[in-house]
Structure 1
Amino acid sequence: MMWNAIKTSLHTALSESEFGLWIKPLECRRQEGQVLELAGPDRFFCAWVEDRYLDLIRHKAQELGQIGEVRLKVAEHRPLPFESDKTGQLRIPGTACAPRLRSLHPAFTFEQFMVGESNLLARSACKALATGDSTFGNCLFMNSTTGLGKSHLTQAVVHQVLQSAPSTRLHYLTAQQFSAEMVKNIRTNSMEQFSKKYVNNCDMLLVEDVHTLTGKNKTQEELNTILDYLIKSGRRVILTSAVDPRKLAGIDDDFRSRMTSGLVTGIESPDHETRARIIRHKMRQHGLAADENLVGYIAENLRGDIRRMESAVIGIKAKSCLCKTPPDLAMVREVIFGLIGAVVEITGESIRDLIGCQFRVSVEDLQSRSRKRAVTFPRQVAMYLTRKYTDKSLADIGNMYNRDHSTVLHAIKTITRDMSQQTSVREQVELLCTKIKK
């Protein structure tokens, strides 16, 4: 069949994960003359393939000859052939137990995740857990604000496990889904069956948004018992939260201790370089030329939530198609303005003014030779934040405070050290970072 020949050619052109995720599920619906009609499992899948792979499929088909046109449609729904094990539990053929999964985003894979200093540890730990590597232990707690990649990494683990070890008894759900399922089993007097599913029939448990369990003492108690068994028996566990575990209110101390008994890591907002790589990647995905000036402008003005970067790229593509012109700086500015309003540039002077206001010291004091703690600490923080949020060199920052570059370097090292050792310093700097971003 011609489709098999095309698939073989595609297999050599794509990575193993891309081929398995996007090409393998496609079926040849019919072949008439020079027209090949393919079918995908759902509309979202077909839209994704059409946007990113259909041109390549057509190219490979034309290279092999006989096929002049390739069309893609949604397959008619057909129920999966389930089998039943001795306990009466349904399972997918070829697997030990049908996994408990919430819906997966097909693009949330390790290959599509942009790695930077802000997420390197989280990504490495997830990759290790997905492949059964115990380097980082068997329990991971990830926390970050929204839109920084917790769900992407968690689903990347699921994709990897389903691809490399499909017989793994894996359960992936949100804390709210866990709570709702537990309530349902309490009402039907089937809590023993519920507990067995997560204790006896689980090799890997992934629970997102555990911060939503605030005040739900019974659910915390049940999940705590399950985690205790899984972790002690060497099963793999991944938990995510939008709140730092130390700041989780309404959470039982024993439950908090159990959740954080393994590796705890936060995902920070990506730095400028990582943001640029994310934007560059997304622009190429959407068929846009990744002009470095445009990439730099977007990366400079869109910080934090990666979803806004995706939204900006989609908006730029739509605007470009509508105007029938390639994107330029004016077009990008208009799209960015629609997302975040007027762009306020972060400068060394604006940071210095903010620090002066927050610590109630004047610019003259910050530039003076004073070595009082009330002046030196704000000055060091200002130097640290200016280096973090602007492109100024050490010498330029030093000139702002009548100091040389070695003093600035010492200030950056001092604040970095104090943030890792003193909670009060870290929280002060984090608060200032939030105010600068706003």
Structure 2
Amino acid sequence: MQPCLSLTLAELPPMLWETVKQTLASALPVSEYSLWINPISCVRETQQMLEIACPDRFFCAWVRDRYLKLIEASLSSLTGSPPAVLLTVAAAPQPQQEANGSGQLRLPGMSKFKASVRSLHPGYTFEQFMVGQSNLMARAACRAIADADPSFGNSLFLTSGTGLGKSHLTQAVAHQVMLRAPQTRLHYLTAQQFSAEMVKCIRENSMEQFSGKFIQGCDLLLIEDVHTLSGKTKTQEELNNILDYLIKAGKRVILTSAVAPRSLNGVDEDFRSRMTSGLVTDIKAPEYSTRAAIIRHKAATSCLSLGDDHVHLLAEHLQGDIRRIESALLGLRAKASLCNTQPDTDMVREVLEGLVSFDQGGRGKRLNGETIRELVSSQFRVSIDELLSRSRKQAVSFPRQIGMYLTRKYTEESLANIGSLYNRDHSTVLYAIKAVSRDIAQKSSVRQQVEMLTDKLGTQQPGALD
């Protein structure tokens, strides 16, 4: 075996850093080398010091944490007396004016950035979003991120059931940024689109371009429906790395999910922690006052004239997701157009009959999620606060599951709305329904309790639809 040779700096080629890069190129994956080593330039070489520069301070911190020891080890293998490594930030070049006279400033050598977004609904803007207690925090956080206001932080995890407005808010951010700051490098896509694009790049052996697009070419990342990444280990790993860099670099990130973070199954814990490192908030089903405001606003934009009694009818009975309200107003608009008249009470009732349950007298049923919750609380001697708590005691969890089961069976409440009644998400509601259904089939005691409660619910007096 030949002895290992140690070279002094004077015996090495003039550019020591280029030699180190060649060593690292053989030690690292191509995509990793292209992203983190190749952009580094040598500023100064002496026998005592090797000064290398990174594109920005966040890039510099990343390299220091993950590659400095590897760089130092490479130097030691090349010279017996390796110089100290000094990481600095490259001096920013002077910006130059766009040749097309648009007035947009751009760094030399950079191509004009075109925002990467999925299709945007023209009506999904902040101006068209009705604010209430159920969505106040979510709306404020999204507006702050759109305006680059750090009041709510730079990272947001937004969760809600379907049809409650999380896509509206996310697209409102995109609309606002593209209007007010078109130079922002914005990427807006679904988690499924992210995954599909990543798979395509893996097949085409172009992962360095894929990662670089988000890491080095993104100021604002909007990804919807991250719950669909459950079980997709490779995609989670790639997105986790991207989020790690963007969040540490102070970039803005918004993630949305139909499932609360703690209930995400098939998700790596490090990925879960990274996604929720900023503000986590949700959108609940709108309360009566917000539903009424939404109805008035959407009716006005549809040129529908609705009286206060009509608005009350609709807001009282169209609970849950907002799409039911939109469906009702669409039906009213169609009927009013056919009859060449403005909606009246009979027309409103007729539309509601297709969306909510009524008794034989044509009156809306009083039975709702709150009524069932109160009955369960009374019969099992468990307070409402206990049903809303995080307690997993059998004396609390069992009545809670019964309440969810009965609400799903005897009302028109959505899964998300049922979950909000018990401070849970829709996946917990689904589990409760399955558990109670199984127990009814297997345990006579549970079946008898449910039948007794059902009888009591049947004695509820229906309230007039007015």
Does TM, scored on the shorter chain, surpass 0.5? yes
SS at match of 2:156: strand
| Aligned residue number for residue 104 of structure 1 | 120
The 5 A counterparts of 1:234-249 are: 234-249=250-265
| Aligned residue number for residue 55 of structure 1 | none
SS at match of 1:277: helix
Query: How far 1:347 moved relative to its partner?
Result: 4.9
| Aligned residue number for residue 8 of structure 2 | none
CA shift digits 1:389-432 (9 cap, x unpaired): xxxxxxxxxxxxxxxxxxxxxxxxxx29x846657779976984
| Aligned residue number for residue 38 of structure 1 | none
Structure 2 CA distance for partners of 1:359 and 1:114, relative to 1, 3 Å = closer
> Which protein is bigger by CA-based radius of gyration?
2
CA shift digits 1:21-74 (9 cap, x unpaired): xxxxxxxxxxxxxxxxxxxxxxxxxxxxxxxxxxxxxxxxxxxxxxxxxxxxxx
Structure 2 CA distance for partners of 1:193 and 1:427, relative to 1, 3 Å = farther
Q: Which amino acid aligns with 1:195?
A: S
Q: Which amino acid aligns with 1:203?
A: D
Q: Which amino acid aligns with 1:171?
A: H
* Number of residues of Structure 1 aligned to a counterpart in Structure 2: 300
Is 2:276 the counterpart of 1:260? yes
SS at match of 1:309: helix
CA distance in 1, matches of 2:212, 2:123: 32
SS at match of 2:152: coil
Structure 2 CA distance for partners of 1:294 and 1:113, relative to 1, 3 Å = same
SS at match of 2:187: strand
Query: How far 1:329 moved relative to its partner?
Result: 1.4
The 5 A counterparts of 1:69-148 are: 91=112, 97-148=113-164
The 5 A counterparts of 1:13-32 are: none
| Aligned residue number for residue 174 of structure 1 | 190
| Aligned residue number for residue 325 of structure 2 | 309
Structure 2 CA distance for partners of 1:182 and 1:149, relative to 1, 3 Å = same
CA distance in 2, matches of 1:147, 1:323: 30
The 5 A counterparts of 1:328-407 are: 328-342=344-358, 344-347=364-367, 355-356=374-375, 358=376, 361=379, 375=381, 377=382, 380-381=383-384
CA distance in 2, matches of 1:314, 1:121: 29
Query: Using CA pairs below 8 Å that are at least 6 residues apart, which structure has the higher relative contact order?
Result: 2
Preserved CA contact (<8 Å) 2:377 2:399: no
CA distance in 2, matches of 1:157, 1:341: 37
Task: Give the structure-2-normalised TM-score.
Answer: 0.59
Q: Which amino acid aligns with 1:105?
A: H
RMSD of Structure 2 on Structure 1 (CA): 2.9
CA distance in 2, matches of 1:300, 1:422: 32
Is 2:177 the counterpart of 1:161? yes
Preserved CA contact (<8 Å) 1:420 1:426: no
CA distance in 2, matches of 1:210, 1:432: 29
Is 2:256 the counterpart of 1:221? no
Q: Which amino acid aligns with 1:279?
A: I
SS at match of 2:188: strand
Query: How far 1:353 moved relative to its partner?
Result: 6.1
CA shift digits 1:92-130 (9 cap, x unpaired): xxxxx1111001011100000000000000000000000
Structure 2 CA distance for partners of 1:359 and 1:293, relative to 1, 3 Å = closer
Q: Which amino acid aligns with 1:144?
A: S
SS at match of 2:161: coil
CA shift digits 1:220-275 (9 cap, x unpaired): 10000000100111100000001111111111111111111111111000000000
CA distance in 2, matches of 1:87, 1:427: 65
Q: Which amino acid aligns with 1:179?
A: S
Preserved CA contact (<8 Å) 2:356 2:412: no
Preserved CA contact (<8 Å) 1:90 1:98: no
CA shift digits 1:184-210 (9 cap, x unpaired): 100000001100000000000000000
| Aligned residue number for residue 228 of structure 2 | 212
Q: Which amino acid aligns with 2:153?
A: G
Preserved CA contact (<8 Å) 1:315 1:335: yes
Q: Percent of aligned positions with the same letter in both sequences?
A: 56
Task: Give the structure-1-normalised TM-score.
Answer: 0.63
Which of 149, 163, 168 aligns to 1:152? It is 168
Query: How far 1:345 moved relative to its partner?
Result: 2.4
SS at match of 1:173: strand
Unpaired segments of 5 or more residues in structure 1? 1-80, 92-96, 362-373, 382-414
Is 2:219 the counterpart of 1:203? yes
CA distance in 1, matches of 2:174, 2:402: 34
Unpaired segments of 5 or more residues in structure 2? 1-101, 414-466
Is 2:253 the counterpart of 1:233? no
Query: How far 1:330 moved relative to its partner?
Result: 1.2
| Aligned residue number for residue 389 of structure 1 | none
SS at match of 1:339: coil
